[in-house]
Amino acid sequence: MEILARTVHATRRYGPVTALDGVCLEVPAGQLLGLLGPNGAGKTTLLQLLAGLRRPTSGTVELFGGDPRMAARRRRLGCTVQETGLPPTLRVHEIVDFVGGHFANPVPTAQLLDQFALTGLEGRQSGGLSGGQKRRLAVAVAFVGRPDLVLLDEPTTGLDVEARHLLWGAVHHYHQGGGTVVLTSHYLQEVEALAERVVVIDQGRVRADGTIAEVRALVPARRVRLNAPDLPPLAGVESSSRVGDRYELWTTDSDALLRELVDSRVPFRDLEVARASLEEAFLALTSPSTQTLTPTPVEMAR
Amino acid sequence: MSTPTIFRLTSLHTRYQFTETIRVPIAVIGTTLFPSLSLLFFVVPQPFAQDPRQATAAAAQLAIFAVMTVCLFTYGVGVAEDRALPWDGYLRTLPVGPLPRLTGRLLTGLAFVVIGLVPLVLIAWLATAATLPISRLAMTAAALLAAGVPLFALGITIGYSLSTRAAMAVAQSLLMPLAFGGGLFVPPNMFPGWLDAISRCLPTRAGRDLVVTATAGTDVAGTSVLMLAGWTVLTGSLAVWAYRRDQGRRFR
């Protein structure tokens, strides 16, 4: 399969701060990849390296087989404006026409505006748009050049539910048509619903890389809650917390833990067993307190 | 359709730059009208305005001032402002190299220089004794362009190496010394000896001598040409260095 973008041991430092630390990543054609990680983890720096905005301090970055800092390598790339940083005095159609003018076969402006529910706003200066309209326009321009790869940095931040649905619909549609997507988002449920592959980054390193099921398997994936006066030590518990009589236990095998509980004859009640969401799995991977539970996540990422 | 050529990209970026600049008319008026107003208030009422040689020199000096204002503010402060915006980072992800963007900027600046020169030339023509025979028009325009190159490079250096605030401060603190010292407001033959010696080392003085001699049709001093060439090489190298080291903002 064609690899559209690749980093090999990419490290990026800003003075004493290491934003990315030896990241190896390959983005094959047709994949929808979700980048997850807390703020400051290095997600944005990684996207900036892929888009040619920054050089790696060491290591290499490839986009369509070459250096992304060369303009010709970016002909099949689409990016969003990260913040709502559109030129305020330009009109909506001027911005779309201008960006589209860089590509061989741009999507007609009217069609693109229709897809992002911006029809009727062509003549409006972008500074006069609402926050949601600006955000949709900022994402829409990523698609105007019919790119093979789009990098979407927090595309839905600050949007209401309806606008988020619209954007995810557009991303989904693009992906169905064979497009490749690398995206970051705070809305983990949405990443969980759309992404085929998840890469978790923390402190500049890849902590986990795999399907959603694989990432979930890296952490205690089952949560058992129950009320009990006092619990004896249980072998299947990876971590636990207690508020009054209410226990929260994390385990990789809830069936075995339940058998153990029953055998111990503890008088428990209000039992709840739940599968961890990606969000919980992700928090477990990146929060310092629980990292001891998964001592070698970096190795598992390979 | 095919991949856009460098010409199509240059025209695209020129139109975009021009449109964006003209949408804030007050900024354009501010930088382009000041030289004309200076001519109107400080030259026209003076007795020497009726002396063809002195009036022509005064208009030529203010024309260089117009060029310098556009260079330091449109290029210097304007570039620094643009670099701080996320939109500039976005533009650098588009499949376009630095050449169309820089050329677009250059042509836009040139357009505003012309817009600023129109009222200046009209006032000089109608209200003073300044003269410029048609035969010297092309030579004068070329001299003005040559005088503008190091100032353009200086603006680009400021824009790509400094933050917006620092660029504004540096542009403002360079504008007046370069203008006075270069003899753009007071002709250098009125300078005391020590000031004249300093003046001869400035790019504005070399440019001023070049343009004034072009309007008068006299021979230009070789030292002026050398000085201008030296400044062009120096500021040009600095501009290339500043552009290359720029990676947007200095933080992530």
The yes-or-no verdict on residue A158 having pLDDT over 80 is no
pLDDT at residue number B219: 81
pLDDT of A57-67, one tens digit each?
Answer: 999 999 999 99
Write the secondary structure of A103-139 as one string of H (helix), E (strand) and C (coil): CCCCCCHHHHHHHCCCCCCCCCEHHHCCHHHHHHHHH
Residue B69: burial class (beta carbons within 10 Å; 0-12, 13-18, 19+): buried
Look up residue A5 and give its amino acid.
A
Write the secondary structure of chain A as one string of H (helix), E (strand) and C (coil): CCEEEEEEEEEEEECCEEEEEEEEEEEECCCEEEEECCCCCCHHHHHHHHCCCCCCCEEEEEECCECCCCHHHHCCEEECCCCCCCCCCCEHHHHHHHHHCCCCCCCCHHHHHHHCCCCCCCCCEHHHCCHHHHHHHHHHHHHCCCCCEEEEECCCCCCCHHHHHHHHHHHHHHHHCCCEEEEECCCHHHHHHHCCEEEEEECCEEEEEECHHHHHHCCCCEEEEEECCCCCCCCCCCEEEEECCEEEEEECCHHHHHHHHHHHCCCCEEEEEEECCHHHHHHHHHCHHHHHHCCCHHHHHC
pLDDT at residue number A289: 41
Closest partner CB to A85 (pick from B16, B86, B247): B86
- Band the pLDDT of A285: cuts 50, 70, 90: low
CATH fit for domain A218-301, picks 3.30.70, 1.20.1630, 2.60.40, 1.10.260? 3.30.70
pLDDT of B175-212, one tens digit each?
Answer: 999 999 999 998 898 899 999 999 999 999 999 999 99
Chain B hits for A145, Cβ within 8 Å? 95
- Determine the topology of domain A3-215 in CATH: Rossmann fold (3.40.50)
What would the two tokens of residue B92 be?
Answer: 């650098």
Q: What is the mean pLDDT of residues B218-222?
A: 83
pLDDT at residue number B84: 83
- Band the pLDDT of B150: cuts 50, 70, 90: very high
Chain B hits for A103, Cβ within 8 Å? 4, 95
The CA distance from A211 to A198, in Å, is 6
Closest partner CB to B87 (pick from A53, A73, A85): A85
Show which residues on chain B lie within 8 Å of chain A, measured between beta carbons.
1-4, 8-9, 12, 16, 19-20, 23-24, 85-87, 89-90, 92-97, 247-248, 251-252
Inter-chain residue contact A104 with B1, CB threshold 8 Å: yes
The CA distance from B86 to B72, in Å, is 23
For chain A, the domains span: 3-215, 218-301
pLDDT at residue number B148: 93
The yes-or-no verdict on residue A220 having pLDDT over 80 is no
What would the two tokens of residue B131 be?
Answer: 């003269």
Q: Is the ipTM of this complex over 0.90?
A: no
Show which residues on chain A lie within 8 Å of chain B, measured between beta carbons.
14, 19, 44-45, 48, 51-55, 71-75, 77, 79-83, 85-87, 89-90, 94, 98-99, 101-105, 125, 141, 145, 151
pLDDT at residue number A90: 93
| Angle (deg, nearest 10), helices B137-161 and B98-127 | 130
pLDDT at residue number B93: 92
Closest partner CB to B94 (pick from A55, A74, A104): A74
- Band the pLDDT of A300: cuts 50, 70, 90: very low
Q: What is the mean pLDDT of residues B64-93?
A: 88
pLDDT at residue number B235: 95
Unique residue bearing structure tokens 């600095």:
B238
pLDDT of A244-266, one tens digit each?
Answer: 889 988 888 888 899 998 998 88
Closest partner CB to B95 (pick from A19, A72, A94): A72
pLDDT at residue number A287: 58
Angle at A98 between CA A72 and CA A95, to 5 degrees: 130
The yes-or-no verdict on residue B99 having pLDDT over 90 is no
The per-residue pLDDT of chain B, averaged, comes to 89
Test mutation, B5, B13, B93, B243, chain A, max A CBs within 10 A: B93
In this structure, of A236-245, B61-70, B85-94, B100-109, the range with the lowest mean pLDDT score is: A236-245
Chain A hits for B1, Cβ within 8 Å? 104-105
pLDDT at residue number B165: 93
In this structure, of A85-94, A114-123, A136-145, A218-227, the range with the lowest mean pLDDT score is: A218-227
The CA distance from A186 to A48, in Å, is 18
What would the two tokens of residue A99 be?
Answer: 């960006």
pLDDT at residue number A4: 95
pLDDT at residue number A281: 65
The answer to whether the CB of B87 falls within 8 A of the CB of B162 is no
